[in-house]
Amino acid sequence: MGDLNVHNLLWGGTNTNTKDPARTMDEKFSADIPLKERDEVEKVFLYLIGDDGTGSEDIIDRFSQNSHQYEKVLGGVNFTGPVQTAQSAAEFYPNNREDVYILDVAAGTGQCAEKLHSHGFRRIDALEPSSEMVELSKKKDLYGRYFNVILGENALDIESDTYDAVTISGLSVMVMKKMPKNAFEELIRIVKPGGYIINTSFYKLFPEDGDAVAAIFRRNVKALESEGKWKRVQLRHFKGYLFGDDGGVAVHQVL
């Protein structure tokens, strides 16, 4: 499947006649993935992300079914979300990182926790809806508690003002752009005032002039800012997030 078809699946575009010369094969795939395996890696990746017609529970099922090859696939398409998320966490918590209490949302197999550990963070819990992913992450012994639930309409069974920070690294964009406002309100509720919610995804998800299909997400974020529940303190743009596309780290401080 060509470059632009991948873009269409991620962002709902329809133009199939224009190539994006900035996104080369080398940017899309890791050098560690042999040429003969790249078609299969891309096929699994596109299946995992789904499209606008794929429901959240179906996406979770897909990740569960492919949990055994999840890290290989995301490594194969040059996924740098965990590295960038941990880097921002380290910037905002330069001292006493071993005491900073973090909830890692969409924790997957613990890739973000591994990078957080490399920066000295030790108190990390996981929120991950896929039981199969949770079982794989447990083998790494990186998390204290595990919340095997979906972030969405329902309240989290977590006390208010529990965490110093929340990290979100690579939550499915199909899920993110449809996330109800109260899901973000729940994250705000469980983070202490002054703490941070660090969200890493495709850059075009975040700016006001970003991709139109993420308008609901941006509207929810802006509404919470207007209500004085959080404020954005960083939007960092970086190259090479996933499959050759640019990434962004949006950091909001809870008020």
Q: Could you report the average pLDDT of every consecutive run of 10 residues in the chain (255 residues)?
A: 44 42 60 75 81 80 86 86 98 98 96 98 96 94 96 91 96 87 97 98 92 90 98 97 91 98
Let me know whether 64 and 160 are in one domain: no
In the prediction, which pLDDT does 221 show? 97
In the prediction, which pLDDT does 22 show? 44
Let me know whether 10 and 120 are in one domain: no
Looking up residue 200, the CATH number of its domain turns out to be 3.40.50.150
Let me know whether 72 and 150 are in one domain: no
In the prediction, which pLDDT does 178 show? 85
Q: What is the dihedral of CA 227, 230, 233, 239, to 10 degrees?
A: -100
Which long-range contacts link 228-234 to residues 24+ away (Cβ below 8 Å)? Answer: 228/255, 229/185, 229/188, 229/254, 229/255, 230/188, 230/197, 230/254, 230/255, 231/255, 233/196, 234/88
CA atoms of 107 and 208, how far apart (whole Å): 27
Bridging pattern class, strands 123-127 and 146-147: parallel
In the prediction, which pLDDT does 96 show? 98
In the prediction, which pLDDT does 134 show? 95
CB 78 within 8 A of CB 27: yes
CA atoms of 242 and 221, how far apart (whole Å): 23
Query: What is the helix (H) or strand (E) element at residue 91, kind and residue range?
Result: helix 81-92
- CA 66 vs CA 36, 60, 108, 244, 253: distances in Å: 20, 10, 11, 22, 34
Let me know whether 86 and 190 are in one domain: yes
CA atoms of 222 and 201, how far apart (whole Å): 17
pTM for this model (two decimals): 0.87
How many domains, in total, are found in the chain? Answer: 2
Q: Is 18 helix (H, G, I), strand (E, B) or coil?
A: coil
Let me know whether 142 and 191 are in one domain: yes
Pick from 48, 76, 104: which residue ends a domain? Answer: 76
Let me know whether 124 and 100 are in one domain: yes
Let me know whether 16 and 91 are in one domain: no
CA atoms of 189 and 151, how far apart (whole Å): 13
- Backbone dihedral region of 13: left (phi > 0), alpha (psi from -120 to 50 degrees) or beta? beta
Q: What is the dihedral of CA 189, 192, 196, 197, to 10 degrees?
A: -20
Pick from 30, 52, 76: which residue ends a domain? Answer: 76
Residue type at 81 in one-letter notation:
G
Report the candidate in 198, 216, 242 with the shortest Cα–Cα distance to residue 52: 216
In the prediction, which pLDDT does 10 show? 53
Let me know whether 146 and 245 are in one domain: yes
CA atoms of 250 and 84, how far apart (whole Å): 11
Let me know whether 135 and 66 are in one domain: no
Range of the domain at 242: 81-254
Let me know whether 178 and 230 are in one domain: yes
Pick from 53, 76, 99: which residue ends a domain? Answer: 76
Let me know whether 86 and 106 are in one domain: yes
Let me know whether 91 and 198 are in one domain: yes
